[in-house]
Amino acid sequence: MKISAYFMVFLLALGCAKTPAVVSDVSVIPIQTPLTASAGDVISIGFEVNGEGDLYLILENSLGTSVIRGDREKDELWFTLPTQFTQRAGFCSWILTNGKKESLSGKIEISSLERPVHMETYLGPRSIYAGTTDYAMLVNIPTDKFDNPVREGTAVTIKRQILTENEAFETTTKDLISWKRLFAVKKSGRMLVTSRAPGSSTKELTVDIYPSQASNFELLSKRNHEYADGNQIIVFETSVIKDVYGNTISDGTLVTFQITNKHGVKLRTEGTTINGVSVAQMLHPDNEENWTVEAYVTGSAKSEAISIEFKPAIKDFDLQFSEDGRTILVGPILSFMDQLNPDGIAVELKISNEKDEELAVKRNASVNGFTEFELSEEQFSADVYQLEITIAGITKKQSLELYEK
């Protein structure tokens, strides 16, 4: 029983002893194999070597793999790691070999420096909307002088200014970065953002806070007179359009003005906002009309509908016939102040037989308050015809008898 106990103690002692590794005819005993280091440190690995033979050290880190030779003095062999391996934070693995067989291996954990000297910053989006839900995200990556991300828990202070208000937020790095959601406020304007870690600061970054969605607004109209002369311009203008937080909406916001006439026909004109106000124009109708007008910002806001009435602009007109009745002169066409109506007003002549069957419709435009129609013998033989002349909703009827020459 005692012999068995002694034998076990002997085996444990033998296992704990530093046994030299053997590579071909060379035995190797580690002298210095560091497990940790800081980026930029001089890192050396040493071995006691007995025997002759070439030994190499294979290095591998996140950048790649390299093979280096050592310096041998008597029975000691030393390898000094190149800077591309010592300046890179992370694990650096090494293998001692003669090119055919592995002898020893190990791993060195290289830590980044505690004090950052540079900070990569990413901020976006660069434009958000006023309110309490939209935000931009700021991401900071502080690095040491070798461009290694600093250790977790490094403090990063984020500061922002909106109008006259200043705020500061304390963050720490985790998984190589620090980050912060920067929420908008209810007032539109510009957000200035900067970050600072011990030994490093970022440039000033900018986020624009635009007004939120428009809220309902008022609609006004302006015109020189209320007559349907087909010549004057009516102007539609909105009140100052604001969002739900009282911010004037952004310049260039499109406002659509929709007009519905008394026949249900829809017309449309558009305008963009300047200082929150949108203006659009429309030509007066050339007939008595009643418009219902409303304006809207698509998908966001609208105005109350307004009603606009246009009175007939044509006060009266005369009909004059040639001796044979085949030339009809319409005019002078007088407007609401007994003035000649502007050129271009539409004049329609409808011709029917005695059975009230429509035979033809002729249309002309006025020039200097007059227009003229010709009834050719080829189209209209000797007979009695019913004429109906309409100008701007004003209609006159006349019976006309034509004779053969």
**23-71: pLDDT as tens digits:** 456 789 999 999 999 999 999 999 999 888 889 999 999 989 999 999 9
Is the pLDDT assigned to residue 159 strictly greater than 70?
A: yes
Q: How far is CA 200 from the centre of its chain?
A: 32
Distance between CA atoms of 269 and 281, rounded to whole angstroms?
7
**253-310: pLDDT as tens digits:** 999 999 999 999 999 999 999 999 999 999 999 888 999 999 999 999 999 999 999 9
List of domains in the chain = 19-111 (2.60.40.10), 118-208 (2.60.40.10), 219-312 (2.60.40.10), 319-402 (2.60.40.1930)
Distance between CA atoms of 150 and 117, rounded to whole angstroms?
10
Distance between CA atoms of 162 and 193, rounded to whole angstroms?
9
pTM of the model: 0.69
